[in-house]
């Protein structure tokens, strides 16, 4: 079955490459993904990786709009950060990638930077733009949990300020590469242990350093189960993030944008602080954001 999209949406991060064949009226005709993320590619590897994935969709030479680390200095071509406060996406700032395949025309969306405190994002600006299309007139806070979680204050259609937390990466390193991994093998989850970790971290965030090794010690001498250790570690790290991000969520309207399971964990942690967060799918937001940049949207303006 041939796919003949009006345009192609691409989300190209450090670890993964995802693409959607889009119709002129914004429907997804087909999707594809590979593990050829930026982290695996040298500069001249991007075009071949993209053609491998979306070659079958290119007969009609549809324009491609991409976001994510593909636009970083180590990516396909650098799309310089735009400085906040600003609207999350700006068609005029798109950067065209150098291509040799005549069927390709690839526009890359820039990320955002904040001078003080210094911070950067790439990819999330597109989800933010999408969220603002899905929630017209939204004023408040967006939280995008992930490897590098972002808390974002949006107002009047602009990103006002944001802050990044390495919570997801810390969880991966501690649970898979540190001494704690010995007590966390296997699957399973212990909701009560997660809640205890969140509560512990929020009430005494300065004690995180002292809490981590306890997970190992309790496994050795007090029978802590692997699922409780994993869940408590997650709770401790998310709770520590919430403690530091308090100005973002206390008394604010909060919307979570992320993968189902992770967003559910953040929503649960926020609910323990009496914050009822709205939830949006990260993919929905990415597609809504890229759609705003597509030539179809331009034609419709």
Residues in contact with a copy of itself by the rule CB under 8 A: 73, 81, 113-115, 117-120, 148, 163-167, 169-170, 173-174, 177-180, 205-210, 212-214, 216-218, 220-222, 224, 237, 240-241, 243-245
Helix (H) or strand (E) holding 173: helix 167-176
CB 68, min distance to a copy of itself, A? 14
Tokens describing residue 163: 């802050």
CB 58, min distance to a copy of itself, A? 33
Q: Tell me if 72 sits within 8 A of 51, measured CB to CB.
A: no
User: Which residue, 117 or 186, has its beta carbon nearer to a copy of itself?
Assistant: 117
Packing angle between helix 191-203 and helix 226-244, nearest 10 degrees?
30
User: Which residue, 60 or 247, has its beta carbon nearer to a copy of itself?
Assistant: 247
User: Which residue, 134 or 243, has its beta carbon nearer to a copy of itself?
Assistant: 243
Tokens describing residue 69: 């680390």
Helix (H) or strand (E) holding 163: strand 158-165
User: Which residue, 109 or 112, has its beta carbon nearer to a copy of itself?
Assistant: 112
CB 261, min distance to a copy of itself, A? 20
CB 78, min distance to a copy of itself, A? 11
Q: Transcribe 111-155 into DSSP letters.
A: -EEETTTTEEESSHHHHHHHHHHHSTT--EEEEE-STTEEEEEEE
CB 184, min distance to a copy of itself, A? 14
Give the integer Cα–Cα distance in Å for 262 and 273.
17
CB 286, min distance to a copy of itself, A? 21
User: Which residue, 133 or 230, has its beta carbon nearer to a copy of itself?
Assistant: 230
Q: Tell me if 122 sits within 8 A of 148, measured CB to CB.
A: no
User: Which residue, 23 or 252, has its beta carbon nearer to a copy of itself?
Assistant: 252
Give the integer Cα–Cα distance in Å for 207 and 280.
32
């Amino acid at each position: 079955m041939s796919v003949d999209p009006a345009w192609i949406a691409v989300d190209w991060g450090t670890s993964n490459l995802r693409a959607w064949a889009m119709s002129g009226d914004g429907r997804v005709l087909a999707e594809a993904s590979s593990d050829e993320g930026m982290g695996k590619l040298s500069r001249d590897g991007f075009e071949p990786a993209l053609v491998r994935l979306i070659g079958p969709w290119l007969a009609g030479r549809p324009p491609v709009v991409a976001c994510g680390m593909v636009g970083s200095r180590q990516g396909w071509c650098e799309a310089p950060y735009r400085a906040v406060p600003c609207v999350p996406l700006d068609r005029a700032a798109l950067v065209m990638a150098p291509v040799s395949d005549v069927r390709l025309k690839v526009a890359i969306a820039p990320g955002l930077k904040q001078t003080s405190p210094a911070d950067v994002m790439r990819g999330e600006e597109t989800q933010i733009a999408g969220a603002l299309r899905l929630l017209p007139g939204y004023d408040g806070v967006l939280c995008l949990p992930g490897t590098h979680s972002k808390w974002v204050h949006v107002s009047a259609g602009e990103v006002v300020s944001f802050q990044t937390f390495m919570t997801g990466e810390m969880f991966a390193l501690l649970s898979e590469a540190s001494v704690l991994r010995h007590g966390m093998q296997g699957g399973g989850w212990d909701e009560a242990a997660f809640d205890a970790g969140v509560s512990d971290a929020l009430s005494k965030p300065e004690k995180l350093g002292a809490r981590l090794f306890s997970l190992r010690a309790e496994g050795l001498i007090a029978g802590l189960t692997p699922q409780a250790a994993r869940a408590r570690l997650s709770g401790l790290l998310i709770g520590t993030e919430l403690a530091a991000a308090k100005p973002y969520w206390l008394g604010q309207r909060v919307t979570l944008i992320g993968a189902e399971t992770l967003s559910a964990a953040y929503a649960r942690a926020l609910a323990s602080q009496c914050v009822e967060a709205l939830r949006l799918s990260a993919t929905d937001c990415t597609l809504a954001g890229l759609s705003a940049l597509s030539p179809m949207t331009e034609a419709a303006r």
